[in-house]
């Protein structure tokens, strides 16, 4: 069924199904950003504490990301549903989003490696760049996903309509 043919009740069900999963990823991303942006305390111990806090928030984001990937890519997941409901609108974008899943997971793994490296801390430019890239990539993916949901189901997963 094409998105434009969905009634209000079907659109509400689509939003209810996707909303909690998107919310978990949104919340984990916000927690990650807050940890990254928290001011570090000068010195080795301060660097260690900052890295520990960021690593914890990154692990939470990775957990949310893995749940998101399962939700979307499982055999009966959201991607299969989107393509079944409107292949013309969904197929190429679903392929792009699947590639994002791999790229973002790799970026998270790389950021985790840098966090665990000797001398890691809030002042290290390479680490900061890697952490910033993770946040930007997750945001871009979420935006692309929201646009796809809107195009297929005429549902704004952000709650706007």
Q: What is the pLDDT of residues 112-155, one digit of tens each?
A: 999 999 989 999 999 999 999 999 999 999 999 999 988 888 76
Tell me, yes or no, whether 158 lies in a domain: no
What pLDDT shows up at residue 20? 86
* Cα 82 to Cα 76: distance, rounded to the nearest angstrom: 10
Segment 42-93, tens digit of pLDDT? 655 778 899 999 999 999 999 999 999 999 999 989 999 899 988 998 999 9
Is residue 110 in a domain? yes
In a domain, 61, yes or no: yes
Top-confidence residue, 6 or 120:
120
**Are the C-beta atoms of residues 1 and 85 closer than 8 Å to each other?**
yes
pLDDT at site 4: 46
Count of domains observed in the chain: 1
CATH code for the domain in which residue 148 is found: 1.20.120
Domain that holds residue 94: 3-153
**Residue 159 included in any domain:** no
Residue 119 makes CB contacts below 8 A (sequence gap 6+) with 47
How far, in Å, CA of 145 to CA of 78, rounded? 11
Q: Tell me phi and psi for residue 153, to 5 degrees.
A: -110, 0
């Amino acid at each position: 069924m094409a998105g434009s043919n969905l009634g209000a009740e079907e659109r509400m069900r689509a939003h209810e199904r996707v909303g909690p999963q998107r919310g978990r990823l949104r919340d984990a991303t916000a927690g990650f950003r807050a940890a990254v942006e928290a001011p570090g305390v000068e010195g080795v111990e301060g660097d260690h504490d900052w890295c520990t806090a960021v690593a914890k928030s990154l692990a939470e984001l990775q957990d949310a990301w893995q749940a998101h990937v399962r939700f979307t890519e499982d055999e009966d997941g959201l991607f299969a549903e989107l393509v079944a409901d409107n292949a013309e609108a969904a197929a190429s974008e679903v392929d792009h989003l699947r590639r994002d899943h791999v790229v973002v997971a790799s970026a998270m793994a790389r950021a985790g490696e840098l966090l665990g490296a000797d001398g890691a801390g809030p002042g290290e430019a390479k680490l900061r760049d890697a952490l910033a890239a993770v946040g930007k990539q997750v945001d871009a993916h979420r935006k692309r996903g929201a646009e796809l949901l809107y195009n297929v189901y005429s549902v704004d997963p952000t709650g706007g309509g």
